[in-house]
Amino acid sequence: MKATAKAHTNIALIKYWGKRDESLILPTNSSLSLTLDGFYTTTTVDFQEGLMQDRFLLDDQPVEGDAYHRVTQFLNLIRRLAGREDLYANVRSINAVPTAAGLASSASGFAALAAAGTKAIGLELNDQELSRLTRQGSGSASRSIYGGFSEWQMGSEEDGSDSFAVPIASAEHWDVRVAAVVLSSRVKKVSSRAGMKRTVETSPFYPGWIDSISKDLKEIKAAIHTKDFEKTGQIAEANCLKMHATTLAADPPFTYWNDLTMRVMQTVQEMRANGIPVYFTIDAGPNVKVLYLPEHEKSVEKTLREIPGVTDVILSKPGQGISYL
């Protein structure tokens, strides 16, 4: 009982930042992302009779500890859904997500695991069911079921039955590009899980964040449909700044940025002042992702590479949703 699936990671333009239920992974706000072609995970799940436990190889290295635990917990959900709690699996994942790029490999990882695992065990889920299941491995992964732009609707049910992602526009709809800017120095990492928890519980800015989401979502969806790049970029950049502002007011306060993060943000703003439409967004780490249009690719890449402390710039087009190999 074996299947292989490929999933791409995604970058949020409207961020998911906060959980209302930690174990079911239910968010406090809806979010919206673009799936990226350049970053993906390919996973084979092989359920076999007679295995005594799950095995997980990531890039051909056996994984133990917390990451292994998250995978087996997720396989438990699949086993339970299929009524096959007697089966264990060999899981093999290959990540084409340069970890240093600071793009969530958990998004492509859990989306590929969910797709391969359910297929291998003989479950036939539609996209919404698959997204809802994937959400329970990693929230942002729920959006990686689809190509192009997708929205994770937070839902309101306590059991999470209405919390899943839906497609907003395909990868073919609009060729918006993303440059992942990799920086040399690192700050001590606060995981997204710990960061959002602390922010929800202690930041006085958090209610302001929540209040602003529905307007951002409504406006960015309209801008995506009409392919209004400036509007899309403005909303995404402002939404990112708002999310990061909530962490500065947490107790104890923290930030994911470092000096190089600020430098890249300033360079993006300078490019814009010089007439090139570019916008940034940042997740739970110091690296910056820059949104641009294909006709500006050369100048954007060159300018970003010239910033001292930038070690790499990885360019990506919009990517496709789940595929089975």
Question: What residues line the site for ligand PMV (CB under 6 A)?
Answer: 12, 15-16, 31, 104, 106, 138-140, 192-193, 283-284
Closest to ligand PMV by CB, 246 or 303 = 246
Closest to ligand PMV by CB, 117 or 139 = 139
3-state secondary structure of 275: coil
Task: Tell me the C-alpha distance between 247 and 249, whole Å.
Answer: 5
Closest to ligand PMV by CB, 31 or 43 = 31
Quote the least distance from Cβ 9 to ligand PMV, whole Å: 9
Angle between helix axes 65-82 and 105-120 (nearest 10 degrees) is 40
Quote the least distance from Cβ 5 to ligand PMV, whole Å: 19
Quote the least distance from Cβ 24 to ligand PMV, whole Å: 13
Closest to ligand PMV by CB, 42 or 144 = 144
Quote the least distance from Cβ 56 to ligand PMV, whole Å: 18
Task: Tell me the C-alpha distance between 261 and 268, whole Å.
Answer: 11
Strand extents, DSSP E, 22-130? 26-27, 31-48, 55-58, 61-62, 88-95
CA torsion 169→170→174→177, rounded to 10°?
110
Closest to ligand PMV by CB, 239 or 303 = 239
Closest CA to 237 of 247, 249, 226, 245: 245
By the 8 A CB rule, do 220 and 279 touch?
A: no
Closest to ligand PMV by CB, 15 or 221 = 15
Structure tokens at 72: 């087996």
By the 8 A CB rule, do 142 and 133 touch?
A: no
Quote the least distance from Cβ 193 to ligand PMV, whole Å: 6
Quote the least distance from Cβ 289 to ligand PMV, whole Å: 10
